[in-house]
A and B are shown apart, each in its own frame.
Chain A
Amino acid sequence: MTRYFRRWALVLLVLPTSYHTQALDVTVTTASGERLSHTVVWATPDDPKVIEHWPTMHYFMDQVNRQFKPHILPIPKGASVSFTNSDTILHHVYSFSPAKTFELKLYKSNEREPVVFNHAGIVNVGCNIHDWMLAYIVVVDTPYFSITDTQGMAQLSLPEGVYTLSIWHERFSRLGEPESQKLTYHGQSQLQVKIKQALAAPLPLFHTDEFDDY
Chain B
Amino acid sequence: MPIFRFLVFTLVITSYHAAALEWHGLTQLRLTNAENPESWLQGGSGLYQYDQGNNGLNLGQTLLSVRQDLSTSWSAHGVGHINSGPDYSAGFSQAFLRYKPLSVNRYEWQVDVGAFYPAMSLENPDIGWSSPYLYTNSAINSWLGEEVRTVGLEASFSRPGRRFRSPHTFEWRAAVFMANDSAGSLLAWRGFAIHDRQSTLNESIPFADNPAFDNTPLQHQANNVIPFSEVDGRYGYYTGMHWDYYKRSQIRLYYYDNNGDPAALNYRTGQYAWDTRFFSAAWLFKITPRTRIVIQGLHGNTKMGPNNGVDNDFEAFFILLSHQWGQHRISARYDYFSVIELDDWAFDPNDSDGESIALSWRYDIDKHWQVGGEVTHLDSFVENRALWWETQSNTQRLLQFNIQYRF
Partners in one complex: yes
Q: Which residues of A contact B (CB under 8 A)?
A: 88-90, 92, 94, 96, 103, 105, 107-108, 110, 126, 128-129, 131-134, 200-201, 203-204, 206-209, 211-214
Q: Of residues B67, B160, B367, which shows the largest number of chain A Cβ atoms within 10 Å of its Cβ?
A: B160
Some 10 contacts from A to B, beta carbons below 8 A apart, are A92-B102, A105-B20, A131-B162, A201-B165, A203-B165, A206-B162, A207-B247, A211-B126, A214-B122, A214-B124
Question: Which of B67, B125, B162 is close to A212, meaning CB atoms less than 8 Å apart?
Answer: B125
Which A residues are in CB contact (< 8 Å) with B326?
A: none
Chain B interface main SS type:
loop
Which A residues are in CB contact (< 8 Å) with B247?
A: 132, 206-208, 212
Given A132-B169, A214-B119: A103 and B102 interface contact (C-beta under 8 Å): yes
Nearest B residue to A128 via CB reads B102
B102 touches A203 (CB 8 A): no
- Interface: B161 (CB within 8 A): yes
- Interface: B344 (CB within 8 A): no
A90 touches B67 (CB 8 A): yes
Question: Which of A103, A133, A204, A213 is close to B125, meaning CB atoms less than 8 Å apart?
Answer: A213
**A-B pairs with CB below 8 Å: how many?**
71
Nearest A residue to B129 via CB reads A214
Nearest B residue to A207 via CB reads B248
- Interface: B132 (CB within 8 A): yes
**Which residues B75-100 have CB closer than 8 A to chain A?**
100
A131 touches B160 (CB 8 A): yes
- Interface: B341 (CB within 8 A): no
Count residues on chain B whose CB falls below 8 Å from chain A CBs: 35
A134 touches B163 (CB 8 A): yes
Please name the 9 residue pairs, one residue from A and one from B, whose CB atoms are nearest each other, closest first: A214-B125, A131-B160, A211-B125, A206-B247, A207-B248, A134-B162, A206-B246, A208-B247, A90-B22
**Which residues B1-23 have CB closer than 8 A to chain A?**
19-22
State A209–B72 Cα separation when bound (angstroms): 25
Which B residues are in CB contact (< 8 Å) with A212?
A: 125, 247
State A92–B100 Cα separation when bound (angstroms): 11
A107 touches B20 (CB 8 A): yes
- Extra inter-chain contacts (20) besides given A129-B100, A131-B158, A206-B167, CB under 8 Å: A89-B22, A105-B20, A110-B19, A128-B102, A128-B108, A131-B160, A131-B162, A131-B169, A132-B161, A132-B162, A132-B244, A133-B162, A203-B167, A206-B162, A206-B247, A206-B248, A207-B247, A208-B247, A211-B132, A214-B125
B69 touches A105 (CB 8 A): yes
Question: Which of A110, A131, A133, A209 is close to B289, meaning CB atoms less than 8 Å apart?
Answer: A209
State A96–B105 Cα separation when bound (angstroms): 9
- Interface: B346 (CB within 8 A): no
Nearest B residue to A67 via CB reads B247
- Interface: B24 (CB within 8 A): yes
Nearest A residue to B290 via CB reads A209
B125 touches A207 (CB 8 A): no
B161 touches A107 (CB 8 A): no
Which B residues are in CB contact (< 8 Å) with A128?
A: 100, 102-103, 108
